[in-house]
Amino acid sequence: MGERENAVPAVEEMTSVTTYADVAAVLNSLAVRQALHHDRALKQEFGPTPSDEFLGESLLSLHGDEHFNRRRLESRLFTKPSRAQLELDVVWPALHRLLQRSQGTSTDLMVFSRLVLIRVSGAVVGLAPIEDLETADRLRSLAEDMFLANGVRYLTENQDEITRRGLESRDAFRREFYAPAVRALTVQDAPDHGGLLSLLAEKPDTVSSEVMFREAILFLIASSTTTTNALPHAIWDAERWFARHPDERAAMSEFAFCRLIATEALRLHPPVPRLLRRSTEPMTLPSGLKLRAGEFLALDLISSSQDPDVFGEDAGEFNPLRALQKGVWPFGFAFGGGAHMCIGRTLVLGDGGTREDETEPQGLFPRFLRELYKAGMRLDAERSPTRREGTEKNEYVEFPVAFGTAA
């Protein structure tokens, strides 16, 4: 295969956008398009990208009206009743069962939370309900392989091996989970699992069958790994903060406080170090940085979410009680921003009008934190957490915790 004249520059060679105001301006601009996942225009110019195999023509790679229309349709998955169903009927019982079983034991929080949260992913996509640990673990491991392979550009080693495994897992996901769920949609009187597949099947003109498959992959990987990866960061940072503010620990019984912990941890530990974009017109950013048309941009989510002009001189530190300027996202750009801002944000954190009532959806992240602390979770004194190596992403591989009555 001949080399293309045009090539997308390596991430390190892209123009780095680092301040809060500049990143906000880029994300909110209509003259900027996705660049990690190529839309049609980028594909024509630069050819395919590794993530096309997983997310090509999915919501994340669309632009303009096409994106707006599909997003409007899929937002229905996140209405308050839908979020209540996912949080209260899918997550809460599974979380309780696992917490009961874990009393008095030490466990890896990564495995624990994945096993619960993968059920949400299955339900959002519209797969058959996941009843047993084995199935939950199988789907979790397929989702994780695809997640890693999709972000192969962030990896610093083993890229070929990870891509190969990701593709194998994609095919296994299709065979074992996706195809049976799609088949069920066509069988009269078969149970309708709802979710994305049911929504798209009602509007057959929206997407082709292959795009529907990749949309399912997007929702699966975007929902399953992100919250699981964010949880240990929140607990680690909160524990260090409680060591200096012991009186605040009791507030973990309140959803509102758990939400502050979750939000502050997301600000400091976004799921990816950068979002990639490409400008389609010349523009000048608030800092005075001038962009040419066609320039590739690496939006630095870490520095922009720790911008001292916005979050104060202690922006790099964990402080869930930090005072915020009006109009600033408390989680920085952990959920992105603008048209592609995470569609699952309110499922993760709840919405602004949430009351302190456990029978209402509070957000998966605050709910998880509250229930873990209520069950007396503490860091395992015998085993230290380990982090993933060979990636720029800041992720835990293992996060040992112990359950029992809190000391």
Binding site for ligand HEM (CB under 6 A): 59-60, 71, 124, 218-219, 222-223, 226-227, 230, 266, 271, 275, 334-336, 340, 342-344, 347-348
Q: Could you report how far apart the first and last alpha carbons of the chain are, in Å?
A: 64
DSSP state of 152: G
Q: Where are the alpha helices (DSSP H) in 126-158?
A: 133-150
Question: Residues 281-284: contacts with CB within 8 Å, 24+ apart?
Answer: 281/31, 283/25, 283/29, 283/31
Nearer to ligand HEM (CB atom), residue 252 or residue 277:
277
Nearer to ligand HEM (CB atom), residue 332 or residue 385:
332
Cα separation, 322 vs 7, whole angstroms: 43
Asked if 276 contacts 298 with a C-beta cutoff of 8 angstroms, the reply is yes
Distance in Å, CB of 105 to ligand HEM, minimum? 26
Distance in Å, CB of 1 to ligand HEM, minimum? 28
Distance in Å, CB of 141 to ligand HEM, minimum? 18
Nearer to ligand HEM (CB atom), residue 218 or residue 291:
218
Nearer to ligand HEM (CB atom), residue 195 or residue 385:
195
Distance in Å, CB of 403 to ligand HEM, minimum? 23
Q: Where are the alpha helices (DSSP H) in 56-132?
A: 64-74, 80-84, 92-102, 109-125
Residues 6+ away with beta carbon under 8 Å from 189:
none
Distance in Å, CB of 253 to ligand HEM, minimum? 22
The position carrying tokens 């084995």 is: 134
Distance in Å, CB of 54 to ligand HEM, minimum? 13
Distance in Å, CB of 113 to ligand HEM, minimum? 11
Residue nearest to ligand HEM according to CB distances in the complex? 344
Q: Which of 275, 266, 270, 233 is nearest to 349 (CA)?
A: 266
Nearer to ligand HEM (CB atom), residue 265 or residue 401:
265
Nearer to ligand HEM (CB atom), residue 70 or residue 155:
70
Residue 211, classed as helix, strand or coil, is: helix
Could you give the maximum distance between any two Cα atoms of the chain, in Å?
A: 65
Nearer to ligand HEM (CB atom), residue 26 or residue 155:
26
Asked if 3 contacts 268 with a C-beta cutoff of 8 angstroms, the reply is no
Q: Judging by DSSP bridges, how do beta strands 15-17 and 296-300 pair with one another?
A: parallel
